[in-house]
Amino acid sequence: MLLLCMGDLPIGYYTFVRIIITIGAVCIIVNEPVKDLNFWRVAFGLIAIVFNPIIPVYLHDKAIWMPIDIIAAILFTIKLSILKSTKHE
């Protein structure tokens, strides 16, 4: 979803992505162990802030959003693969 944002799409798609990414980031934060503040809680907290649809962050330049979208997509991919591998153990 995030990688599709690099194209020219209707504004509704970007709003939809903001909602889905924020919900996903919050779910990851909530499911992380609370014992300490770790990398994943901080990373997905920042993702939730940047992508939140309630108080949106407007960067007005697609060139700025592209690396943010790529980094967020990579972090989601890594975290989901970690969750899958630990689930099978």
Sequence-separated (6 or more) residues with CB below 8 Å from residue 38? 32
Cβ atoms of residues 25 and 45 within 8 Å: yes
Per residue in 49-86, pLDDT (tens digit) is 999 999 988 888 888 888 999 999 999 999 999 888 88
pLDDT at 15: 84
pLDDT at 7: 62
What is the C-alpha to C-alpha distance for residues 41 and 28, in angstroms, rounded to an integer?
A: 8
Domain range for 35 is 3-87
| Number of separate domains in the chain | 1
Cβ atoms of residues 41 and 29 within 8 Å: yes
